[in-house]
Structure formats: structure tokens, C-alpha cells
Chain A
Amino acid sequence: MLLNLTDLSDESLQSQIVRQIRAHILAGDLKASDSLPSIRSLAREQKVSVITVQRAYETLIHEGIIHSRRGKGFFVSRLQESEKDRIAKDKLYTNIKRPLNTAVSEGLKAEDIHTIVDKILSNDKHD
């Protein structure tokens, strides 16, 4: 499992770990009942503190994406397609809420925002 963590981000290392593992799972790179690295080995591999990984795993457990089996470690949970959909939508909602509010406070109208979203989805460059 490869993660790309950076200190040059407005996102904490902890939430980078959460987001990247979640992305691996939702994209199907990690499948149901696949095992995850132990907290300590991931901490060593990624050069982050143990508590950082521990809390990231706790978040993923709370979201129902992974589970732990006592003495055996951490595993990817079985997710229904509908659940994956819900998790992805929840995530998009939280991620997009702040920039959208900022955009509105800077005077953009709903239609401006729709246009930009459409542009992004059709992979056009922002001019």
C-alpha cells in the first residue's frame, strides 16, 4: 500500500492517511478482507508518529471502512456498492463545502459554480 504524505499541505498527516487509504479502498485497490499494515509498521514506513496512524485507523473504523480483529490486525470491511456511494458522497460534501462557501462569500453565483464544476468534470483547463 503506497501512500504519498507531505508536510507541505494544508491537510494534516493524519487526514492524508485517512483519505489515501479510503481512496485505495473505494477504488478497489484494496479489497474486502485484505489486511492493512500494523499501526507500528505503517508509522515506521511513513515516518509518522504511532498516535497519528492510530487515530487515522480509528477514523476509518468509525466510518465502517476497516475493522480490527483482536490479535490479528486490521482488515478492509465488506462494503455494499450503495455504501461506497454514500461514503464517497459524504466525503465530497465535506470536501467541497468550504471552498464553495468561500466562493459564495467572494460573490460567485450558483450558475458560475455549476459552470466551473462542469468544466472540471469535462477535464477542461481553467482559463
Chain B
Amino acid sequence: MTKAFEFNDVVKTYKDFKLGPLNFSLEPGIVLGYIGPNGSGKTTTMHCLTGLVRADKGEMKVFGKLNSLHHPEWKLDIGYVGDVHAFYERWTGEKNLTFLSRFYPSWSKQRALELARRFQLPLDKNVRDLSSGNRVKLSLVGALAHSPRLLILDEPTAGLDPVVRSEVLDVLFEILESGERAIFYSTHILSDISRLADELVFLHEGQVFQRTAKDDLLDQWRKISFRYSGEDMEVETAVSKIREGNDFQVISYDFSKTIEQLRKIGAENIKDTRMTIDEIAVQILKNNRE
């Protein structure tokens, strides 16, 4: 199957920061969460992929088409929402959308109006008079009205109220149903995509260090408490350990292994609790840093 996008050895260097080499891809029908602390290179990655900045090295393809300066057709398959938007401040939202529509043969005015209504976005106001939340909504409408096959969303729900945020997520779930579209979604608010994302890629200081199916993380990570009166010991597959007298609490990234070990050494009163995807992501990022 043609990949929605692929990175081959993509590198972008700034004075004091290097992103990559990036080597990963995304299949159609999949939602990939892109997770990393501020300054880890999420936005730069997305700017490279959308052509907003030029990578120094490497190759990028969108649905099989090379991301090339001279042949911009690959851009037609992309819908992007992020920190950069090219709206004219003195024009209304509607006029901006009409202008944008000329670049996209597959643009649907009806779809644009429907989305604006669902996001409660007034189209008759000048962009300069729109709140930051309404600007994000306008970006979303602009990114979705041509029904692109690849959505690149850089913190798209920042600044949206909960009702609109949930409407945005509804729209994303609808978009996915056909199985032909893919979403590349960067965020540090994991709860926003805790249900939507299929896989998560973790980024730290410009390097991708882990890619895992979200459900695998949820299955394998646990907080485990137990009682143990022997000598202090190393708990396998645990990332943290707290001890209070003979009571222990550990966080494990492979809880069945941990529990097996605890049973073997004769720990008592073993209890495990599931963790949210936020809690797990924090642990992954924290432990990578250390």
C-alpha cells in the first residue's frame, strides 16, 4: 500500500538544534500521535513535511509523490493546521476561504460551510477581529474543505473550548472511517488523542526514540504495589520504585514480567493499577531524559 507519508533520512539543522535523521512512515487509515516536550522538533518536522521549511537532507514522499519544490502536486493531498497560517487579516473568513479554494480542485464550498457551522465559526468577520480560538477553527476549515488524504495537525485543539474540541474530534473520527486517510497529530495534551490515536511516536531533542501502538502501552504499563520484607532488590522492567518500610510501589513497562518476578521472590499483597496514556507518556519522556 502507498504510504500516506514517508521520511527517509530527513535532517534539518539550525544553529543550536538538529532534527533527525528521521526515518518513519504512516499508513493510510492510521492516526499517529507525535509526542515530545517543547523544543523537541515536532513543529519543525511538520514544517518540513508541509514544505514550509526545506530540509537539509533526505527525502519525503506524500502518497508516493516526492515532496519537491518544483512539482507542488503533493501539497494537494495535505491539510495542515499549525502555528503558521496564511490568512489575510483584512479579509473576512469567507473571502479567505474562497481565495484558498482556487488552489484546490477538490475543494467543496458546501463542506467548508458545514464545518464552519459545526465549529461555530462566524465567517463574516475580518480575520484580524477573530479570537485565537476562531483563527484555529478557520485553519481547520481551510485544512479540511478539500478532503485531503493526509492531515497534519500541530496542536490543533490548543485554545479551543471543550465543546468545539469535541466537535473537532468528531470530525476527525468521521474522516477516518473510509480508511483512506491518515492523521499525523502532534500534541502534548495526550488526553485529546487518547482515544483517537493508533500509534505514538516519541521525540526527544530532535531524535525519534520510540514508536509503539497505543494499546500496547496501555496493556503493558502498570503501577504495582506490594509488600516485601527481604533485602532491597532490583525490580525488573520497572522505571521507578518507592519504598516505605516494607511497602513498595513501582511503575512497570512490562507488568506481567514484573509480577512474575515479585511472585518468585515471595512478595505479598501484589496489586496492579492501570495507567492513563498521559501518565505513561510522562514516564516514557522522563526516563528517556535521564
Query: Contact: B176 with A44, CB < 8 Å?
Result: yes
Cα-based distance from A72 to B169 in the complex (angstroms): 29
User: Which of A40, A49, A105 is close to B177, meaning CB atoms less than 8 Å apart?
Assistant: A40
Cα-based distance from A105 to B218 in the complex (angstroms): 27
User: Which of B179, B198, B219, B268 is close to A12, meaning CB atoms less than 8 Å apart?
Assistant: B219
Q: How far is the CB of B89 from chain A (nearest CB, A)?
A: 36
Interfacial chain B residues near A12, Cβ < 8 Å: 215, 218-219, 274
B143 at interface (Cβ–Cβ under 8 A)?
no
A47 at interface (Cβ–Cβ under 8 A)?
yes
Query: Contact: A51 with B215, CB < 8 Å?
Result: yes
Query: Contact: A40 with B179, CB < 8 Å?
Result: yes
Cα-based distance from A102 to B214 in the complex (angstroms): 29
B271 at interface (Cβ–Cβ under 8 A)?
yes
User: Which of A10, A40, A41, A48 is close to B195, meaning CB atoms less than 8 Å apart?
Assistant: A48
Q: How far is the CB of B254 from chain A (nearest CB, A)?
A: 16
Query: Contact: B213 with A47, CB < 8 Å?
Result: no
Question: Which B residues, 191 to 230, have Cβ-Cβ distances below 8 Å to chain A?
Answer: 194-199, 213-215, 218-219
A52 at interface (Cβ–Cβ under 8 A)?
yes
Interface residue SS majority, chain B? mixed
Q: How far is the CB of B252 from chain A (nearest CB, A)?
A: 16
Q: A52-B215, A102-B271 are in contact. Are A47 and B176 (CB under 8 A)?
A: no
A25 at interface (Cβ–Cβ under 8 A)?
no
Question: Which B residues, 215 to 249, have Cβ-Cβ distances below 8 Å to chain A?
Answer: 215, 218-219
Q: How far is the CB of B275 from chain A (nearest CB, A)?
A: 11
Q: How far is the CB of B263 from chain A (nearest CB, A)?
A: 11
Q: How many chain B residues touch the partner (CB < 8 A)?
A: 28
B177, B218, B219: most-surrounded residue (chain A CB, <10 A): B177
Q: How many chain A residues touch the partner (CB < 8 A)?
A: 18
Interfacial chain A residues near B196, Cβ < 8 Å: 47, 49
Cα-based distance from A32 to B196 in the complex (angstroms): 31
Q: A14-B215, A102-B271 are in contact. Are A40 and B178 (CB under 8 A)?
A: yes
Q: How far is the CB of B43 from chain A (nearest CB, A)?
A: 24
Interfacial chain B residues near A51, Cβ < 8 Å: 198-199, 213-215
Interfacial chain B residues near A43, Cβ < 8 Å: 173, 176-177
Interfacial chain A residues near B198, Cβ < 8 Å: 49-51
Query: Contact: A41 with B177, CB < 8 Å?
Result: yes
Interfacial chain B residues near A13, Cβ < 8 Å: 195
A55 at interface (Cβ–Cβ under 8 A)?
yes
**Which positions in B face A, CB cutoff 8 Å?**
29-31, 169-170, 173-174, 176-179, 194-199, 213-215, 218-219, 268-269, 271, 273-274, 276
Given A7-B194, A51-B213, 15 further pairs, Cβ under 8 A: A12-B215, A12-B218, A12-B274, A13-B195, A14-B215, A40-B176, A41-B177, A43-B177, A44-B174, A47-B196, A48-B195, A49-B196, A49-B215, A51-B199, A102-B271
